[in-house]
Structure 1
């Protein structure tokens, strides 16, 4: 048993080679099927983890060949009559040895197959890890950059942008920057700044997150949707050109500002906190239009078939004009707005 014990120790120390298993003095001592089975299961796990292939298919065939050769040799050494009398017992004595080595071959073979499959999976990953790119303005002056998908960003000093190379229209901002977004109706452009998420399709807007206690979004052209992560604003807020959204996370309040042309939103604005005239959540468009004409006192003409199946989610602020609201609704629903004398008409785009 000393050779078996020495081999077990070597394999536990990960120093055993296939040659150690095939030594004649070791092969002659194979026995104790239960002990080997327990040990082999343990070494199977170790083989998978370490990647060490204990037995190759060639060595496996060699072990079987040696076993059969040894059995035949032992039988030849017996007297003919004695061999006939005891050959059955010889075979029975050798049976545990054959079973033990067969167990070794089977388990190690499974381990080799599993390890090979594991290696193939590791060498051919399903998806490569995403790389995040960071851009920081350390120049002390305003810098204009181009994003991979074509949008332009004017970064104020100390501003930092980060985005995945596989998702360049999802931007995280620290500091202040002006975004001139490349139009793409199928891929919205989203900026994450503090607790504020701003989404646009194609527009120019400014996000100022220089002060964590006050995040400001100002729209220059086009339209954007602004929402808060914490749910302070229950619905997405649609900004119109010249408007600014301001959020105070410490007090969980927001405001929409209307700036005069050329004015900086920081000082010359009229602020109306929570100035929501009405809010809609997946409301039928005809219901929205009826409520708007009641609120603004202006008739809105439309064919029911043109708006049937259309819905609207959003807020109407007290600072919004009816025309601007209807223009946004029409753009979202492939409708055409026709202003009239004291009324508005909406129809499907011809």
Structure 2
């Protein structure tokens, strides 16, 4: 293969990988590169020229991929995208760079950018619960299908339904909801559920607490074990004693443990390795 053939192939590759750039910019950059690489006096091409060209073509390809990624996840996000999936059968806890907590349900996916602290926007596929750190200068936004939930600091659940709808349940704080191509927005209060699909939009009340009114302590223990996937060991003589307690459905396990310890004047010991909490 002579010099002209090599130059022609490299130019074709250069233009192909640079389609996303303005044409005049591509032509100028090629002229600069070719003038340095291909001696017009037709001196023999050194082996390193091939390596240099390969490196440059590879670099342009990577740059093109990054620009595609940027535009594919909200035009306002100008950074690489992190994707976290939960293929298992139990909730997966994720801590975002700003300290916000996400409980990702099975078969769900979370996406956020590398510059998340300055651009607190995430996308959910499936279902996730959020406990958002407050930051008045950087609102927290969750996109799911055609809806966007905007918050400053609160606790809520976003769920992508099979019926091509999206539901949002607010446990604490306040959130604003927007729908694509709509000029309206909706403000939710704690205990309200927002459901949207292409045909209708509804806001209804839901029960965000679990109440135990003079129930055996054993029922409370069973509720905790079922919803938090921890084994709870309590003194046998207390299990049948009646208790009246209200538990917020998305309350942290640490807070529930502390409340029970204070009620019964016991110490609790948590073993993360075997997922067990023992009261003594």
Normalized against structure 2, the TM-score is what? 0.49
TM score, norm. by length of structure 1: 0.40
Give 1 or 2: higher helix fraction: 1
